[in-house]
Amino acid sequence: MGLPLSGQTNEDFNKAKKKATFGEIFSLLNPEKNDLLSFHDIRELIKPKAEFYRGIQTVPLDKIVGSEGRYTDFNRAYLPRREHLRNRWKSIDEAALRDRILPPIKLFQIGDTYFVRDGNHRVSVARTRGQIDIDAEITELTTEIPLTPDMSLSELRSRVIAFELNRIKERAGLEDSVDFEKIRFTTPGRYEEILSHILGHKEYLSREDGEVTLKEAARSWFEKIYLPVIEIINRQKLVERFPGRTESDLYAWTLKNWSSLADGPSPARKVWDLRDSGWFTELMKRLRNLFRSRG
């Protein structure tokens, strides 16, 4: 004789949660691959251009790899990680055992990838029971950056950085003026900051020398501002103090904060403790001279 329905759903949840625990163990070397993606993190990275309602569609369950609000409660296979999910999960499992028809879940679609707005437990139960697809109400977000279901957050971040670099190259046409092989960032958004630096430098040069082209300004910025700052960063071996960061990361941070650092204590000082270092005085002096010079 089979288990009573409540016992069956309890056992189903225990098995699913146990599999999630094993998944944590097997992914210790690369835990990010086991994590659901946060929809808000992805949206912040890719900055979608538009949003469209696509109605109700049938979606493959293995393409649902993220959630708007429950991305820490389930793993990438949508197995439950938390004990507090038990009651709700069991109620959905019971509905499935009784062949009750549940309303469509709600999903965001980005490329070929889906994120749950509403219905995380239904996705979890469906995948645990071996279901292949599920009906969902779709809202699609459009983006120029390809997103695939097997991608981790760090892989997407790298893809976004590469996309931003190519966009700056194509839009500004600066490859002949700037050696982009020497400008490598680990954080998205920095290449836009670089272009802003170049435009500001162009304005300064034009005010002092008459109108200059963007390419001329970029070459001047690269040779007389960027490379000298990088030289100081390398001479002081600062990158060794910040594993996982590059010289370009430190350049961008310094240029963004140098005036507040020069003026007095700031929150940044608590992180880097820059003002107690000899390199800080050297760098501030160099920056002042650069910005006071004619470039």
Give the CATH number for residue 122.
3.90.1530.10
> Does residue 176 share a domain with residue 87?
no
Phi, psi of 138 (to 5 degrees): -105, 135
Boundary of a domain, candidates 95, 118, 142: 142
* Cβ neighbours for 32, distance < 8 A, ≥ 6 positions apart: 152, 153, 154
> Does residue 265 share a domain with residue 286?
yes
Confirm whether 176 is domain-assigned: yes
Query: Rounded to whole angstroms, what are the CA distances from 110 to 39, 126, 142, 152?
Result: 10, 22, 6, 14
Counting as low any pLDDT under 70, the low residues of the chain are 1-3, 257-295
Boundary of a domain, candidates 142, 164, 192: 142
Which tens digits make up the pLDDT trace of 70-114? 999 999 999 999 999 999 999 999 999 999 999 999 999 999 999
Confirm whether 65 is domain-assigned: yes
Could you tell me which of 65, 75, 74 has the C-alpha nearest to residue 42?
65
pLDDT value at residue 171? 75
Residue-range definition of the domain harbouring residue 71: 5-142
> Does residue 114 share a domain with residue 162?
no
For the entire predicted model, the pTM comes to 0.77
pLDDT value at residue 233? 83
**End-to-end CA gap in the chain:** 86
Q: How many other CB atoms are found less than 10 A from the CB of residue 205? A: 19
d(CA 238, CA 76): 37
d(CA 193, CA 106): 36
CB of 52 closer than 8 Å to CB of 103:
no
pLDDT value at residue 265? 44
> Does residue 105 share a domain with residue 84?
yes
From edge to edge, which strands make up the β-sheet containing 105-110? 37-38, 64-67, 113-118, 105-110, 133-142, 50-60
* Cβ neighbours for 259, distance < 8 A, ≥ 6 positions apart: none
> Does residue 288 share a domain with residue 211?
yes
Could you tell me which of 10, 17, 38, 24 has the C-alpha nearest to residue 124?
17
pLDDT value at residue 244? 86
CB of 138 closer than 8 Å to CB of 54:
yes
> Does residue 12 share a domain with residue 55?
yes
pLDDT value at residue 6? 74
> Does residue 137 share a domain with residue 12?
yes
Confirm whether 148 is domain-assigned: no
Could you tell me which of 134, 101, 128, 99 has the C-alpha nearest to residue 116?
134
Boundary of a domain, candidates 142, 167, 184: 142
Helix (H) or strand (E) holding 54: strand 50-60
pLDDT value at residue 234? 86
State the total domains in the chain.
2
> Does residue 282 share a domain with residue 203?
yes
> Does residue 161 share a domain with residue 137?
no
